[in-house]
Structure 1
């Protein structure tokens, strides 16, 4: 029998400049730093029980840690459908270029854009997945 899991607790992004990424996620999403790892990175509160980790690319090599990565990754933030127009306005006001808008067959909508490290960020309304 598979042991119980309560879902994803944390996700990591690997960034060139932690302070630039922190400012982006603070300003655009209102996330707050809850733990600072010095030059290695930080943890940001992302929802009630989720954490977004920002690690400096290559910043953990000197301490022999497996926390390192590279490349353009993807993450999605859940938003209420009623907030989608406000989000589109907010992104435009902050000079964020929308790369794609998509309406899904279950009725959900997604808007895609890039963070300072070119990670693909999505805001998604209910109806994107059968479970959301």
Structure 2
């Protein structure tokens, strides 16, 4: 198998309106699809962030049922040259940075939460996993 990347990342969000305000209006991710009470999908570069209402998605028959709970995690990748600018933009939007990590490579990443409590991270495009 020659997998290219993870195309979709999925979060389980009870309040899809809050998700829309945060991911679309605050983080500026374009909305791909929104079905009230069911899901909202966002474009994030060449990837897709799927936000499902877990009470609905656990009852699905197609695609297969799926759901989760708790503080899930994923990371946004930004160009290394834009990392500090993005960090400042997050702060200016009133979002609290809850943690910062310096990795073995010397590169840094930072963490913040969405309104549902999921832990989001911003990483530079070079140095974290190389």
Asked if Structure 1 and Structure 2 have the same fold, meaning a TM-score greater than 0.5 normalized by the shorter chain, the answer is yes
Q: Which 10-residue stretch deviates more, 36-45 or 117-126? A: 36-45
Where in structure 2 are the equivalents of 1:1-132 lying within 5 Å? 3-48=1-46, 50-64=47-61, 65-125=64-124, 126-130=126-130
- In the alignment, structure 1 segments of 5+ residues that lack a partner are none
Task: Indicate the SS of the match to 1:52.
Answer: strand
TM-score (norm 1): 0.85
State the 1:60 CA deviation: 2.6
> In 2, Cα distance between the equivalents of 1:28 and 1:105?
31
> In 1, Cα distance between the equivalents of 2:76 and 2:100?
14
Task: Indicate the SS of the match to 1:77.
Answer: strand
Aligned pairs, how many? 127
Question: Does the Cα contact within 8 Å between 1:39 and 1:59 map onto a contact in 2?
Answer: yes
Q: Which 10-residue stretch deviates more, 57-66 or 81-90? A: 57-66
Task: Indicate the SS of the match to 1:58.
Answer: helix
State the 1:90 CA deviation: 1.3
TM-score (norm 2): 0.86
State the 1:62 CA deviation: 4.4
CA-based RMSD of the aligned residues comes to: 1.7
- In the alignment, structure 2 segments of 5+ residues that lack a partner are none
Q: Which 10-residue stretch deviates more, 108-117 or 86-95? A: 86-95
What CA deviation, in whole Å up to 9, does each residue of 1:7-54 have, x standing for no partner? 211110001211111221113432111122332112211112x11000
